[in-house]
Amino acid sequence: MQVRVGGKPRPFRSVSFDASANAVCLIDQRLLPHRFRLVRTTSYEDTALAIREMTVRGAPAIAATAAYGLAQGVRAYSGKDRRTFSRYVRQVHRTLLEARPTAVDPAHSMAEVLAAMKQGRTIAEKQALALAAAEEFAHRSAEECRALGEQGLALVREGMGILTHCNAGWLACVDYGTATAPLYLAHARGLRFHVYCTETRPRSQGATLTAWELAQQGIPHTVIADTAAGLLMRSGRVDMVLVGSDRVLARTGDVTNKIGTYNLAVLARHHGIPFYVAVPLSTLDWSLDSAEQIPIEERAPSEVLGAWGVPQRPDAGQGSRLRPSQARRLYVRVANPGSPAWNPAFDVTPAALVTGILTPKGLYRPEQLWPHRPGLEGPFHL
C-alpha cells in the first residue's frame, strides 16, 4: 500500500526481508500514527522479540515475520554437523512459535518452511530453500488478501456504514489487509461509504492503526469508543460489521479475534446487522476440535491500567498534527494506583453469531468450511 513519506506516496509492505544482511524489515507499529519508522531485526531472537512486543502484529503479518525469522535463523547457522543443525532449527522454530501463541498463521507459515527444507540434501541447500519458502509465503499472503478484496466487493454498497474492530488492515498483513481489502478496492472503484473504527482498548489498534491506514487512503472514517458501538448500531448508522481473525476453527466455525469482537457480534445479532469475518487460508485451523483448546494470550496488566500516547493540548483541534520532533511516546497511568487488571488479548465468537466467513476463495457460512476442506486447506503441513 501507499504511505506518504516526506509528502510523497511510496509503496510499502508491512514485512520484507533483506537477504544481503539476513535481516527482517518491519514497520514499527508501536510508533504509529505519530511516527513512521522502519526497523530491522538481525537475529531470530530479535525477530521473536519484535513479534512478542508487537513491533509487528496481526496474524498474517506475524506469520510472514515468523517464516522470515525461521529462514533468518537457519541461514545464520555456520556449522557443518547435520544433527546439531537439526536441534538448532527446532530451537529457532520453538522460539518463534511461542512469541504469540493464539494466532495459528505462524504455525502454518513455518510448517511450510520446514517442509521445503526437507527437500534439501545439504545444510546450504536447506538454508536456501528456507528463504525461498518464506518469500513464497509472504508473496502468496499478499495475493490472498488481494483476492479477499475481490471476493468481498459485493458486500460493500454505496452509502454504507461499516464497523470494524482492531486492525485487520495491510499493517496486520503483508499487504492489502483482510477486513480492509474489500474497502480499499471499493474505494478505488469510486464507491462511497463510511467506516467506524472502534478504538480497541487496551492497545487502541483501531484508533492508532486502522484510522491511520484509512486516512492514508482518503477513506472517510470515524473513531468511536468501544462502549459506543451499541448506541451506534441502534442509531441505524451501521449496515455491516467486518472484522479479521487470528484463528478460525474450520471444524466449528468459531472465530478467535481481538478482545471485544465477541461483544460486537452479540450486539450485531441483537440489532439484525450482518457480521462478517475476513481471513486468508492460513488463518483456518483444521486441527483443533473446540474453542476451549485455543490458547488465549494474556498480556501485561499495565496495558489496561494505563495508555501510551504523545503529548497534545486537550483543546487542540481534530486536524492538529505534531511535528516528528514532538512525537515522543509517553505511558500514562490511568487506573487507581495499586488496583490489579486482567488483560486477555483475544476472545472467541461462537459460529452462531457469524453471518459469513470471507476467504480468498469465496464467502462461506461457518458450517460450510469443513465440508469445503479440500479447496480451502492450503499448502500447510502441521
Q: To the nearest whole number, what is the mean pLDDT of the chain?
A: 94
Q: For residue 26, give the C-alpha cell.
A: 518491519
pLDDT at residue 261 above 60?
A: yes
- 3 strand-pairing partners: 10
CATH assignment at residue 121: 1.20.120.420
CATH assignment at residue 358: 3.40.50.10470
* Cβ neighbours of residue 367 closer than 8 Å, sequence gap 6 or more: 253, 351
Lowest mean pLDDT among 11-20, 184-193, 322-331: 322-331
φ, ψ for residue 342 (rounded to 5)?
A: -110, 130
Choosing from 105, 226, 239, 246, the catalytic residue is 246
Taking residues 238-250, report their average pLDDT: 97
Taking residues 48-54, report their average pLDDT: 97
Share above pLDDT 90 across residues of the chain, in percent, rounded to a whole number: 89
Judge if 288 and 166 occupy the same domain.
yes
Taking residues 121-139, report their average pLDDT: 97
What span, in angstroms and rounded, lies between the C-alpha atoms of 214 and 33? Answer: 11
pLDDT at residue 347 in the model: 97
Check residues 221 and 1 and name the one with the higher pLDDT. 221
pLDDT at residue 317 in the model: 55
pLDDT at residue 334 above 80?
A: yes
Which band of pLDDT confidence, cut at 50, 70 and 90, is reported for residue 340? Answer: very high
What is the per-residue pLDDT across 271-326, written as a single tens digit (0 to 9) for each?
999 999 999 999 999 999 999 999 999 999 999 999 988 887 666 555 555 454 45
Q: For residue 351, give the C-alpha cell.
A: 459460529
State which residues form the domain around 30. Answer: 2-145
pLDDT at residue 8 above 90?
A: no
Judge if 188 and 328 occupy the same domain.
yes
pLDDT at residue 342 above 50?
A: yes
Judge if 165 and 284 occupy the same domain.
yes
pLDDT at residue 380 in the model: 66
Judge if 352 and 210 occupy the same domain.
yes
Judge if 130 and 168 occupy the same domain.
no
Judge if 128 and 37 occupy the same domain.
yes
**Residue 25 resides in a domain:** yes
pLDDT at residue 149 in the model: 96
**Residue 295 resides in a domain:** yes
Taking residues 241-263, report their average pLDDT: 97
Judge if 179 and 138 occupy the same domain.
no
Residue 315 appears among annotated catalytic residues: no
205-232 exposure pattern, b = at least 16 Cβ within 10 A, e = fewer: bbbbbbbbbbebbebebebbebeebbeb
Q: What angle do CA 171, 180, 344 make, to 5 degrees?
A: 65
Judge if 298 and 181 occupy the same domain.
yes
pLDDT at residue 209 in the model: 97
pLDDT at residue 355 above 60?
A: yes
- Of 118, 145, 172, the one marking the end of a domain is 145
Count how many domains the chain has.
2
Judge if 354 and 221 occupy the same domain.
yes
**Residue 381 resides in a domain:** no
- Of 96, 124, 145, the one marking the end of a domain is 145
End-to-end CA distance of the chain: 31
**Residue 170 resides in a domain:** yes
**Residue 322 resides in a domain:** yes
What is the per-residue pLDDT across 82-128, written as a single tens digit (0 to 9) for each?
999 999 999 999 999 999 998 899 999 999 999 999 999 999 999 99
One-letter-per-residue 3-state SS of the chain: CEEEECCEEEECCCEEEECCCCEEEEECCCCCCCCCCEEEECCHHHHHHHHHCCCCCCHHHHHHHHHHHHHHHHHHCCCCCHHHHHHHHHHHHHHHHCCCCCCCHHHHHHHHHHHHHCCCCCHHHHHHHHHHHHHHHHHHHHHHHHHHHHHHHHHCCCCCEEEECCCCCHHHCCCCCCCCHHHHHHHHCCCCCEEEEECCCCCCHHHHHHHHHHHHHCCCEEEECHHHHHHHHHCCCCCEEEECCCEEECCCCCEEEECCHHHHHHHHHHHCCCEEEECCHHHEECCCCCHHHCCCCECCCHHHHEEEECCCCCCCCCCCCCCHHHCCCEEEECCCCCCCCCCECEEEECHHHCCEEEECCEEECHHHCHHHHHHHCCCCCC
**Residue 150 resides in a domain:** no
Handedness of CA 228, 234, 239, 241 (dihedral sign): positive
Share above pLDDT 70 across residues of the chain, in percent, rounded to a whole number: 95
What is the per-residue pLDDT across 55-83, written as a single tens digit (0 to 9) for each?
999 999 999 999 999 999 999 999 999 99
pLDDT at residue 266 in the model: 98
Taking residues 241-260, report their average pLDDT: 97
pLDDT at residue 324 in the model: 44
**Residue 382 resides in a domain:** no
For 189, other C-beta atoms within 10 Å of its C-beta total 9
pLDDT at residue 325 in the model: 42
Distances (CA, A) of 289 to 258, 356, 361, 368: 21, 20, 23, 16
- Of 145, 177, 201, the one marking the end of a domain is 145
What span, in angstroms and rounded, lies between the C-alpha atoms of 251 and 207? Answer: 33
Judge if 58 and 170 occupy the same domain.
no
Judge if 43 and 165 occupy the same domain.
no
Judge if 140 and 18 occupy the same domain.
yes
- 112 strand-pairing partners: none
What span, in angstroms and rounded, lies between the C-alpha atoms of 41 and 144? Answer: 26
**Residue 140 resides in a domain:** yes
What span, in angstroms and rounded, lies between the C-alpha atoms of 54 and 48? Answer: 10
